[in-house]
Amino acid sequence: MSVRPAVVLVTKGRPMSEQKLRLFTFPAAFGLPTAGPFGLKLEMALRMLEVPYERVFEMDNRKGPKRKSPWIEDGDTRIGDTELILEHVARTRDVVLDEGTTPEERARGHVLRRALEEHFHQVFEYELLVHERSLDLVRQMATMSAPKILARPIAAYLRRTVRKHLFERGIARHSPAEIEAMGRADVDALVAWLGDREWFVGDRPTKVDCIAFGLLAVAIRCELDTPVFAYVRAQPTLVAFVERVLARYFPEHASSVARAAA
């Protein structure tokens, strides 16, 4: 697969490849560089590719071109969606994630990534933002961008909005027990898939590790006592996977044990 640029893209008089990307993500939280799983996915990918970027924290995902977080600005170009951003990076910086993997490895990574991004992400958002045990956390998050007095109404609005969105997406049509069972099934599959290997596909990190890391790191580190997050935390191989990524790509956020082992 080659997506190398045929022409040098220029903006404001400078080739794009020399510009630093501006990466807009939710603020740091839970001992992680950002609270958002897709922001973590993109940061890990950019670090794997050694593409320099500048972080900009923005709580309001509606400001992004796809009204979702994260997004980037590259000179005059604004792009939302991690996949489209990575395509842009490949075009303008001549660096491609997963170069050297076989078609079969790419296919396996693609299918697992879709399962994580399209299904497990729904369970994830339900537990983080809608579950009754996340109420205090959502109120705390609301005070990050608004006065304390508004925390309750903002949290209530956020939970209502996310529940409606998750109803449209599918997961919130199910009972809490059904959602828990669906989430546990995803976690069981991840544990079985990873086995005692270091990475989900092949013997080195690939793109699917980026989204697995984003979702699992928040589930583990947010300390919410919701059923699926607690179940993730109880899986030693998934906890070790997250610490491995942190030690390799975000040493400033890794536990001292993982840093020493890296």
Ligand X SMILES: N[C@@H](CCC(=O)N[C@@H](CS)C(=O)NCC(=O)O)C(=O)O
Which chain residues interact with ligand X by CB under 6 A? 36-38, 61, 68-69, 81-83
Residues 6 or more apart whose CB falls under 8 angstroms from that of 62 comprise none
Query: What CA–CA distance (Å, rounded) separates 94 from 145?
Result: 37
Q: How far is the CB of 164 from ligand X (least distance, A)?
A: 10
What are the DSSP calls for 94-142, one per residue?
Answer: ---TTTT--HHHHHHHHHHHHIIIIIIHHHHHIIIIISGGGHHHHHHHH
Q: How far is the CB of 74 from ligand X (least distance, A)?
A: 16
Backbone region of residue 30 per phi and psi (left: phi > 0; alpha: psi in -120 to 50; beta: other values): left
Contact present, 58 and 25 (Cβ < 8 Å) = yes
Q: How far is the CB of 186 from ligand X (least distance, A)?
A: 16
Bridge partners, 54 (sequence order): 22
Query: What CA–CA distance (Å, rounded) separates 138 from 156?
Result: 9
The residue (of 134 and 258) whose beta carbon lies closer to ligand X is 134
Query: What CA–CA distance (Å, rounded) separates 160 from 225?
Result: 21
Q: How far is the CB of 61 from ligand X (least distance, A)?
A: 4
Q: How far is the CB of 217 from ligand X (least distance, A)?
A: 12
Contact present, 74 and 19 (Cβ < 8 Å) = yes
The residue (of 159 and 247) whose beta carbon lies closer to ligand X is 159
The residue (of 15 and 80) whose beta carbon lies closer to ligand X is 80
The residue (of 64 and 202) whose beta carbon lies closer to ligand X is 64
The residue (of 40 and 187) whose beta carbon lies closer to ligand X is 40
Name the residue type at position 75. Answer: G
The residue (of 41 and 108) whose beta carbon lies closer to ligand X is 41
Q: How far is the CB of 202 from ligand X (least distance, A)?
A: 22
